[in-house]
Amino acid sequence: MKTVLLAGGKGTRLMEETATRPKPMVEIGGQPILWHLMQLYAGHGFKEFLIACGYKGEMIKEYFRTLPIRTSDYVMNLADGSVEIIKGTDLDWRIGAIDTGIETTTGGRILRMRSLISGTFMVTYGDGLGDVDLTALVDFHRSHGRLATVTAVRPPARFGALTLEGPYVREFAEKPQVGDGWINGGFFVFEPGVFDYLDEQESLERKPLERLSAENQLMAFRHEGFWQPMDTLRERHLLEALWQSGKAPWVTSKPGSTAASL
């Protein structure tokens, strides 16, 4: 099953990092967030990727073109440029890096992958991490028979929560997520019929998903665990701190999601 990674946006809210590189190439623990996402999928056995490139997409292409040699031990003969691999990379991913245009909508980026996809496929954003149980997500999608599944998550809290007693702060908690409401967390599973709902001019999140919902073709996989986008420098620092702590939740996917219609 192929996974489409939406990696073409400009990331204007993270200009401190994205002025010189695409947002999915911003590093957490010395590796692009895109690499962390792919490790999550590969950990569930999903190792075929289509990266929808756009803004500074050549950096993404070059990163993956050189990844096998950078993760291998080798001896190079500088006289003729020949390379002898001593210890090969452990990565067995199959990756397509596809230029989908700089200004293309998310719906348009997926639509441009149509000729490369047959059968059920997955889609997610290239700028957020979670400990989503992708195996359970796919199982749920296959069980309901609709065209589309979206992962519903709790929105992360952007500020620390205060418990007040008069003028006194009795408790301060830097809570990662709020308890009320559900939002689109990405981590979609689609049937090929979804292509008929897409339009080059429309973002996935607008008419395509609205129409799928109106026609009862969109179901929600509720994820109660960790989920965190990387829209600001503060959120990038949060993800980095989690990685450095050795307790990054996305490294090992954990069960704990439920399913419902949306």
Nearest-CA neighbor of 204 among 128, 156, 260, 148? Answer: 148
pLDDT at 76 over 50: yes
pTM for the whole structure: 0.88
Cβ neighbours for 262, distance < 8 A, ≥ 6 positions apart = 150, 152, 182, 213, 218, 219, 220
Q: Is 70 helix (H, G, I), strand (E, B) or coil?
A: helix
CATH code of the region 2-153+182-261 = 3.90.550.10
So what's the pLDDT on residue 228?
Answer: 92
Q: 162 phi and psi, to 5 degrees?
A: -110, 135
So what's the pLDDT on residue 181?
Answer: 81
Q: 106 phi and psi, to 5 degrees?
A: -65, -40
Ranked by mean pLDDT, which of 47-51, 68-72, 172-176 comes out on top?
47-51
Nearest-CA neighbor of 116 among 146, 92, 94, 142? Answer: 94
Q: What is the pLDDT of residues 89-145, one digit of tens each?
A: 888 999 999 999 999 999 999 999 999 999 999 999 999 999 999 999 999 999 999
**pLDDT band at residue 253 using 50, 70 and 90 as cut-offs:** very low
What percent of the chain has a predicted confidence (pLDDT) above 90?
66
Mean pLDDT of 84-88: 86
Mean pLDDT of 161-190: 74
pLDDT at 256 over 50: no
Helices (H), 44-133: 57-70, 106-111
Mean pLDDT of the chain: 88
So what's the pLDDT on residue 212?
Answer: 93
84 or 6: which carries more pLDDT confidence? 6
